[in-house]
């Protein structure tokens, strides 16, 4: 099946054959980029949906529209033991991706120069599909989603994203302008890049389109100009369009990938005293309605970046903050795999020694709109987590040993108070998935 009109597919293929994306040197390793690895680790998506920690060993991962393979490499690094399949319509990009994974020693990876429309022909089924910065280039996103669905295992998860029409509307206007000037009839090359640059430089700095889009810091980079002013097939979408495409493909929305950065209450002066919407409290309207209000109020997100999957039926998911006493007593806690890192532990120990607050968000920052600090003395009760998962009650006992006395009354700290301190810390860190909490049977 090849549903995409061949002319537009051909233009996109040519553009990425000429300039494979991203232009990251082959030798560059994402190993130290914990933020990138966190979002490419299927543990993050599975926990977000199922509140369970998945094992990456033996999982099948598809990178659809893998480009030059930088994200496919991140998927391989973040998911030890997983099989990586990358596909892209650009042969040049696929060759680069293949070389990149081989250079970094990943043998369990295969790459194919095919279209998203044809992935079912591979005959594979996937646990996780990553389709980053691609779906907005496809003429019919609903067909693209259906294609993914046809190769997704029953409990698999898709991560994909669309350009936001409201955030990017000035760039769409610029693309219209350069289409009108004939720069996008064929694959934009050196000449078109030069005309585009000369034109924008000649426009008065105060003119709307230049003031809103032209960035002298980036304008010298071909990749930036191509990706914003001369991108073939680029389209923007709204939250209702995203949900309509999911409905048409019969897929279930799981979450925005940067969910904490879509919190509606963060846009209000007093987050604890929100105005009513549709006659009810803002917290009670549907998630889709909340996201819609967010995008109408604020245009900070270039991408509508989301996870989705097959419908899972009614699974009661009780937020950790609402756990019962009995739940807490049978719960275990572990670090997100990306924080299970000796440097992160060394930083916490340094903060404990110098009595400084520990900025846990500096390792995985895109999950939060604000830096997240914790009191390093309380954080000291987390140190056993670098040895592996722990019962929550073991962390509570450790806190009792660290702080045996109430600092005001000098009376012995009771266990209930110790539990409260630890639970508050765990609930806070779990909301960013820095810590993962599970209930044992
Ligand atoms: C902006 S790049 C993104 C590359 C990579 N996913 C990343 O985020 O680094 C878009 C890629 O999608 C590929 N692409 C576009 N339409 C496609 C389609 N219908 N099937 C397969 N690949 C496609 C392009 O060739 C290009 O390599």
What are the tens digits of pLDDT across the range 418-430?
Answer: 899 999 999 999 9
- State mean pLDDT over 237-245: 98
Q: Distance, CA 122 to ligand 1 centroid (Å)?
A: 18
* CB of 12 sitting under 6 A from ligand 1: yes
Q: Is residue 290 part of a domain?
A: no
Examine the domain organization and report whether 11 and 85 are in the same domain.
yes
Examine the domain organization and report whether 176 and 159 are in the same domain.
no
Q: Quick one: pLDDT at residue 2? A: 45
Examine the domain organization and report whether 128 and 208 are in the same domain.
no
Examine the domain organization and report whether 239 and 120 are in the same domain.
yes
Q: Is residue 401 part of a domain?
A: yes
Examine the domain organization and report whether 157 and 16 are in the same domain.
yes
Examine the domain organization and report whether 31 and 100 are in the same domain.
yes
- Indicate the pLDDT class of residue 1, thresholds 50, 70 and 90: very low
Nearest CA to ligand 1 atom 12: 65
- Indicate the pLDDT class of residue 24, thresholds 50, 70 and 90: very high
Q: Distance, CA 115 to ligand 1 centroid (Å)?
A: 9
Give CA separation, 289 vs 307, 338, 391, in Å: 17, 32, 38
Contact yes or no for 257/39 (Cβ under 8 A): yes
Examine the domain organization and report whether 12 and 122 are in the same domain.
yes
The token pair that represents 329 in the structure block: 């007593």
From 17-31, 107-121, 268-282, the region with the lowest mean pLDDT: 268-282
* CB of 93 sitting under 6 A from ligand 1: yes
| CA 267 remoteness from chain centre | 21
Q: Quick one: pLDDT at residue 4? A: 58
Question: Which alpha helices (DSSP H) does 181-302 contain, by range?
Answer: 190-202, 208-213, 222-228, 239-248, 287-297
* Total number of domains in the chain: 3
Q: Is residue 266 part of a domain?
A: no
* CB of 97 sitting under 6 A from ligand 1: no
Q: Is residue 275 part of a domain?
A: no
Q: Is residue 154 part of a domain?
A: yes
Q: Is residue 296 part of a domain?
A: no
* CB of 116 sitting under 6 A from ligand 1: yes
pTM: 0.94
Examine the domain organization and report whether 68 and 212 are in the same domain.
no
Which residues form the domain of 188? 171-228
Q: Distance, CA 223 to ligand 1 centroid (Å)?
A: 14
- Indicate the pLDDT class of residue 303, thresholds 50, 70 and 90: very high
- Indicate the pLDDT class of residue 152, thresholds 50, 70 and 90: very high
| CA 414 remoteness from chain centre | 41
Give the CATH number for residue 53: 3.40.50.150
- Indicate the pLDDT class of residue 440, thresholds 50, 70 and 90: confident
**Distance of alpha carbon 303 from alpha carbon 132, whole angstroms:** 10
The token pair that represents 398 in the structure block: 């450790």
Examine the domain organization and report whether 114 and 207 are in the same domain.
no
**Distance of alpha carbon 228 from alpha carbon 15, whole angstroms:** 13
Q: Quick one: pLDDT at residue 42? A: 98
Q: Quick one: pLDDT at residue 317? A: 76
Contact yes or no for 136/163 (Cβ under 8 A): yes
The token pair that represents 172 in the structure block: 């769409």
Q: Distance, CA 142 to ligand 1 centroid (Å)?
A: 17
Return the SS3 of 281. coil
Give the mean pLDDT of the chain: 95
Examine the domain organization and report whether 351 and 202 are in the same domain.
no
Q: Quick one: pLDDT at residue 279? A: 77
Q: Distance, CA 211 to ligand 1 centroid (Å)?
A: 29
From 42-46, 59-63, 132-136, 411-415, the region with the lowest mean pLDDT: 411-415
Q: Is residue 314 part of a domain?
A: no
The token pair that represents 276 in the structure block: 């009513």
* CB of 19 sitting under 6 A from ligand 1: no
Q: Is residue 98 part of a domain?
A: yes
86, pLDDT greater than 80: yes
**Distance of alpha carbon 408 from alpha carbon 249, whole angstroms:** 59
Examine the domain organization and report whether 345 and 365 are in the same domain.
yes
Closest approach atom of ligand 1 to CA 131: 6
Q: Distance, CA 232 to ligand 1 centroid (Å)?
A: 11
Examine the domain organization and report whether 207 and 349 are in the same domain.
no
């Amino acid at each position: 099946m090849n549903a995409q009109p061949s002319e537009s597919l051909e233009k996109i293929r040519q553009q990425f054959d000429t300039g494979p994306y991203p232009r990251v040197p082959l030798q560059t390793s994402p190993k130290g980029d914990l933020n990138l690895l966190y979002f490419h680790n299927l543990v993050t998506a599975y926990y977000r949906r199922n509140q369970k920690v998945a094992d990456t060993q033996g999982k099948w991962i598809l990178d659809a529209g893998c480009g030059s393979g930088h994200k496919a490499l991140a998927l391989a690094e973040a998911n030890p033991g997983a099989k990586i399949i990358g596909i892209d319509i650009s042969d040049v990009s696929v060759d680069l991706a293949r070389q990149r994974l081989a250079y970094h020693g990943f043998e369990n990876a295969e790459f194919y120069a095919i279209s998203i429309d044809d992935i079912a022909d591979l005959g594979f089924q996937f646990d996780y599909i990553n389709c980053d910065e691609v779906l907005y280039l496809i003429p019919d996103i609903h067909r693209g989603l259906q294609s993914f669905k046809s190769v997704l295992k029953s409990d698999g998860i898709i991560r994909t994203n669309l350009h936001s029409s409201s955030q990017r509307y000035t760039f769409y206007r610029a693309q219209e302008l350069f289409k009108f000037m004939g720069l996008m009839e064929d694959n934009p090359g050196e000449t078109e890049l030069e005309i585009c640059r000369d034109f924008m430089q000649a426009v008065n700095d105060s003119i709307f389109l230049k003031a809103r889009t032209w960035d002298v810091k980036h304008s010298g980079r071909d990749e930036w100009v191509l990706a914003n002013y001369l991108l073939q097939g680029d389209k923007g979408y709204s939250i209702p369009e995203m949900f309509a495409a999911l409905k048409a493909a019969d897929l279930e929305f799981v979450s925005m990938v940067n969910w904490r950065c879509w919190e509606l209450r963060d846009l209000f002066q007093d987050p604890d005293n929100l105005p009513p919407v549709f006659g009810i409290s803002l917290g009670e309207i549907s998630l889709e309605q909340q996201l819609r209000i967010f995008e109408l109020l604020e245009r900070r997100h270039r991408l509508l970046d989301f996870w989705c999957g097959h419908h899972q039926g009614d699974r009661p998911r009780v937020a950790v903050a609402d756990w019962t006493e009995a739940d807490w007593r049978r719960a275990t806690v572990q670090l997100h795999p990306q924080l299970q890192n000796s440097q992160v532990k060394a930083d916490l120990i340094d903060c404990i020694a110098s009595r400084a607050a520990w900025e846990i968000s500096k390792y995985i920052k895109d999950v939060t709109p604000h830096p997240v600090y914790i009191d390093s003395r309380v954080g000291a009760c987390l140190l056993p987590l670098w040895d592996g998962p722990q019962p929550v009650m073991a962390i509570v006992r450790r806190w009792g040993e660290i702080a045996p006395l109430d600092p005001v009354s000098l009376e012995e700290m009771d266990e209930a108070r110790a539990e409260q301190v630890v639970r508050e810390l765990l609930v806070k860190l779990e909301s960013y998935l820095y810590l993962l909490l599970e209930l044992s049977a």
